[in-house]
Amino acid sequence: MAEKNIKFYIINATKIAEEIGLGGRTNTIMQSAFFKVANVIPYDLSVKEMKAAIVKSYGAKGENIVNMNYAAVDRGGDVEKIEIPSEWSAIEVKPVENTKERPDFVKNIMEPINALKGDDLPVSAFVDRADGTFPAGTTEFEKRGVAINVPEWIADNCIQCNQCSYVCPHAAIRPFLLSEEEAAAAPDGTALLKGIGGTKEYKFRMQVSVLDCTGCGNCVDVCPSKTKALEMKPLGTQEAEVERWEYMNYKVGYKDTILEKSKTVKNSQFAQPLFEFSGACAGCGETPYIKAITQLFGERMLIANATGCSSIYGGSAPATPYCKNYNSGKGPAWANSLFEDNAEYGFGMALAVNKMRDRIQDRMEKAENSSLSTETKTAFKEWIQYREDAEKTDEVSGKVIANLKKESDPIAKELLALEQYFSKKSVWIFGGDGWAYDIGYGGLDHVLASGEDVNVLVMDTEVYSNTGGQASKATPVESVAKFAAAGMRTRKKDLGAMAMTYGYVYVAQVAMGASQAQYFKAIKEAEAYPGPSLIIAYAPCIAHGIKSGMGKTQAEEKLAVEAGYWHNYRYNPLLEAEGKNPFILDSKEPDWNMFQDFLKGEVRYSSLIKSFPEAAKELFVVAEKDAKWRYNFYKKLSEDK
């Protein structure tokens, strides 16, 4: 800037917006600031035109809204010029030092790309990436610090429920358990609580990674404590948390066996998320679903990801949010294929793993008459017996490997080369509604029909989010979307009901904001089910225009279920085998009086009132009728004998 003599202006639009009552909406202020400094038309004229436009846009919403926007225009003029000192031209740029050693990939590839210097990288820089893979767990080195406000933990108010951690879209707030020594060695002023329940022997701390937090505020919103144990504070006030985070994350680490992690939502949060700090929007409704799955099954997961938001934040080159468990060194293997073949892609992963594990079993069986020790052969038999039991296989695999390392028979070498396939894998197929309901549906149906043991997670935003908000078959009647500007005219497709017609597919509809426990149950049942599973997760999105903001996405999920807009259920074929009704309707009878208000709370619906008032009147009625039709269908299923 100093060298090129650049004119530099600043304005604290965020602060102004808050002051004048516009919340996080800074666009009018910034527009006014632009006209003030750009001089494309006389500023006075631009102010006059902007105010005229405000009356046109918001006149119907009342004087108060108009005045707030007038103020935004006026205050936008308070833009401030910063004189650039000439000595800035001599500043030397030094990278921030991290306590954790940055891998070569981060130093030599990721950081140059993030600094927009990727074009300068020579081909030779990628020689280690010739197989097309990118290393996992590199988002932890980004430390973007993009939040304006971040949560501050108020230890005294905390009831240690870990709900804030469960819902965090970026894994930026996590509970830690500290031994006496760890507690003693913590940075000065680190507040700690005595652990409760099964964690009494330890100190408890809820730690925020303030440089990874995006500041959405869902953690604060879901905190069930009478007096909130979290409060949003400006990022600048939380600098001390940077060191604390590093101490907790790298030194204290994750004590995920003190409490059985698969037992409760609370327990699960002591496990390390193997999906962290992704590039998803602040408040994203999708990412908390993924994170919880990685906490339970991440070390043995293979993920096939459809095109869409989840493929972008799941692998936004150069940084990768999927990471390895610090203790075991294991984590999800992740890859993205095409929009139209993702189910098939994951199916192929499952087939390939089965084939390799069949080979292991075949070699073990053939080794019966080899020179291997009796102990090794006994371990083989155990492995074969338990190969489909995830926990047991892991235990036995340790034995098998230890024995194989002592053997000289060539078969031992061959088996050790297959070591990564010893553990039972958890194959997941991720995607959005654009993939699952539309473009990839033919393949998804084929894979579900196959009976193969794969797990499908559909993050249903009811619209093509990543490509800009086009209508999909998951878009409900009345919703405004691209290609459906006058409101969608057909009913939302019932993907779950269609999958249920097979009778051997596990199906769940979930909304974690409405029931954290129901989602937790669903992922455990789905993973354990020895066949295809489909979880359809309601995921609020910036494309919805939630009027209460993206800090309330969890609350919006709750509202959706209470109002009858979304229904949570589980269909488990194993129950039918026991002579029970396989269908369980988890959500309660909705309060239909809330339905219209729910719609009006989101711009995708409310905007229709303005643009097509006549159609809107009719479609709001149809939307409620459709929701009831669907609920009645589920209710009938749940009452089946």
> C-alpha angle with apex 455: 585 to 434, nearest 5 degrees?
80
Task: Tell me which stretch binds its own copies (CB under 8 A): 11-19, 213-221, 292-300, 484-492.
Answer: 484-492
Nearest to 268 by CA among 282, 254, 287: 254
State how far the Cα of 242 lies from the Cα of 221, in Å rounded to an integer.
Answer: 23
Question: Minimal distance in Å, beta carbon 617 to its own copies?
Answer: 20
Question: Minimal distance in Å, beta carbon 589 to its own copies?
Answer: 19
Provide the 3-class DSSP secondary structure of residue 522.
helix
Under the binding rule (CB under 8 A), the answer on residue 197 touching its own copies is: no
Measured from the CB atom, is 280 or 474 closer to its own copies? 474
Nearest to 539 by CA among 432, 437, 439, 456: 432
- Kindly provide the residue ranges of all beta strands, DSSP E only, lying in 401-516, ordered along the sequence: 426-432, 455-460, 506-510
Binder to its own copies among 251, 489, 580, 588 (CB under 8 A)? 489
Question: Minimal distance in Å, beta carbon 483 to its own copies?
Answer: 12
Question: Minimal distance in Å, beta carbon 577 to its own copies?
Answer: 12
Question: Minimal distance in Å, beta carbon 490 to its own copies?
Answer: 5
State how far the Cα of 306 lies from the Cα of 342, in Å rounded to an integer.
Answer: 5
Question: Minimal distance in Å, beta carbon 633 to its own copies?
Answer: 8
Is residue 224 reached through a cis peptide bond, with omega within 30 degrees of 0 on the bond before it?
no
Buried b (16+ CB within 10 A) or exposed e, 420-435: ebbbbbbbbbbbbbbb
Under the binding rule (CB under 8 A), the answer on residue 502 touching its own copies is: yes
Measured from the CB atom, is 435 or 519 closer to its own copies? 435
What is the DSSP-derived secondary structure letter of residue 235?
G
Task: Tell me which stretch binds its own copies (CB under 8 A): 147-155, 324-332, 485-493, 549-557.
Answer: 485-493
Q: Which amino acid belongs to residue 6?
A: I
Measured from the CB atom, is 18 or 445 closer to its own copies? 445
DSSP 26-62: -HHHHHHHHHHHH-SS-HHHHHHHHHHHHHHHHGGG-
State how far the Cα of 409 lies from the Cα of 368, in Å rounded to an integer.
Answer: 12
Task: Tell me which stretch binds its own copies (CB under 8 A): 42-50, 51-59, 287-295, 491-499.
Answer: 491-499
Question: Minimal distance in Å, beta carbon 351 to its own copies?
Answer: 14
State how far the Cα of 610 lies from the Cα of 608, in Å rounded to an integer.
Answer: 5
State how far the Cα of 117 lies from the Cα of 110, in Å rounded to an integer.
Answer: 10
Contact predicate 321/350, CB 8 Å: no
Binder to its own copies among 498, 542, 575, 615 (CB under 8 A)? 498
Question: Minimal distance in Å, beta carbon 562 to its own copies?
Answer: 24
Question: Minimal distance in Å, beta carbon 438 to its own copies?
Answer: 7
Question: Minimal distance in Å, beta carbon 564 to its own copies?
Answer: 17
Measured from the CB atom, is 413 or 489 closer to its own copies? 489
Under the binding rule (CB under 8 A), the answer on residue 490 touching its own copies is: yes
Question: Left if phi > 0, otherwise alpha if psi is -120 to 50, otherwise beta: which for 171?
Answer: left
Question: Minimal distance in Å, beta carbon 230 to its own copies?
Answer: 42
Measured from the CB atom, is 425 or 493 closer to its own copies? 493
CB < 8 Å & 24+ apart, contacts of 115-121: 118/318
Measured from the CB atom, is 438 or 602 closer to its own copies? 438
Measured from the CB atom, is 195 or 496 closer to its own copies? 496
Measured from the CB atom, is 399 or 491 closer to its own copies? 491
What is the DSSP-derived secondary structure letter of residue 476?
P
Binder to its own copies among 93, 501, 589, 614 (CB under 8 A)? 501
State how far the Cα of 203 lies from the Cα of 400, in Å rounded to an integer.
Answer: 38
Binder to its own copies among 438, 460, 478, 527 (CB under 8 A)? 438
Token readout for 577 is: 């085998």
Measured from the CB atom, is 192 or 497 closer to its own copies? 497
Contact predicate 258/177, CB 8 Å: yes
Measured from the CB atom, is 446 or 547 closer to its own copies? 446
Binder to its own copies among 51, 504, 562, 628 (CB under 8 A)? 504
Task: Tell me which stretch binds its own copies (CB under 8 A): 84-92, 139-147, 292-300, 487-495.
Answer: 487-495
State how far the Cα of 349 lies from the Cα of 351, in Å rounded to an integer.
Answer: 5
> How far, in whole angstroms, is CA 466 from its chain's centroid?
14
Task: Tell me which stretch binds its own copies (CB under 8 A): 150-158, 175-183, 387-395, 496-504.
Answer: 496-504
Task: Tell me which stretch binds its own copies (CB under 8 A): 43-51, 197-205, 435-443, 577-585.
Answer: 435-443
Binder to its own copies among 65, 497, 528, 594 (CB under 8 A)? 497
Question: Minimal distance in Å, beta carbon 56 to its own copies?
Answer: 32
Under the binding rule (CB under 8 A), the answer on residue 228 touching its own copies is: no
Binding characters for its own copies, 621-640, by CB under 8 A (x = yes): --------x------x---x
Question: Minimal distance in Å, beta carbon 532 to its own copies?
Answer: 10
Q: Tokens 């393949």 — which residue?
A: 443
Under the binding rule (CB under 8 A), the answer on residue 567 touching its own copies is: no
Under the binding rule (CB under 8 A), the answer on residue 493 touching its own copies is: yes
User: Which helix (H) or strand (E) covers residue 250, if one does?
Assistant: none
Provide the 3-class DSSP secondary structure of residue 205.
strand
Task: Tell me which stretch binds its own copies (CB under 8 A): 162-170, 181-189, 483-491, 540-548.
Answer: 483-491
State how far the Cα of 482 lies from the Cα of 505, in Å rounded to an integer.
Answer: 33
Write the secondary structure of 528-572 as one string of H (helix), E (strand) and C (coil): HCCCCEEEEEECCCHHHCECCCHHHHHHHHHHHHHCCCCCCEEEC
Nearest to 444 by CA among 332, 549, 306, 331: 306
Nearest to 218 by CA among 291, 267, 112, 274: 291
Under the binding rule (CB under 8 A), the answer on residue 494 touching its own copies is: yes
Measured from the CB atom, is 319 or 444 closer to its own copies? 444
Measured from the CB atom, is 364 or 456 closer to its own copies? 456
- Map the footprint of its own copies across residues 146-165, applying CB under 8 A: none
Binding characters for its own copies, 440-479, by CB under 8 A (x = yes): xxxx-xx--xxx---------------------x------
Under the binding rule (CB under 8 A), the answer on residue 612 touching its own copies is: no
Question: Minimal distance in Å, beta carbon 424 to its own copies?
Answer: 21
Q: How many residues bind to its own copies according to rule CB under 8 A?
A: 26
Q: Tokens 């354990």 — which residue?
A: 528
481 strand-pairing partners: 484
The gap between the terminal CA atoms of the chain, to the nearest Å, is 74
What is the DSSP-derived secondary structure letter of residue 481?
B
State how far the Cα of 523 lies from the Cα of 455, in Å rounded to an integer.
Answer: 9
Under the binding rule (CB under 8 A), the answer on residue 121 touching its own copies is: no
Interface with its own copies by CB under 8 A: which residues?
A: 438-443, 445-446, 449-451, 473, 489-491, 493-494, 497-498, 501-504, 629, 636, 640
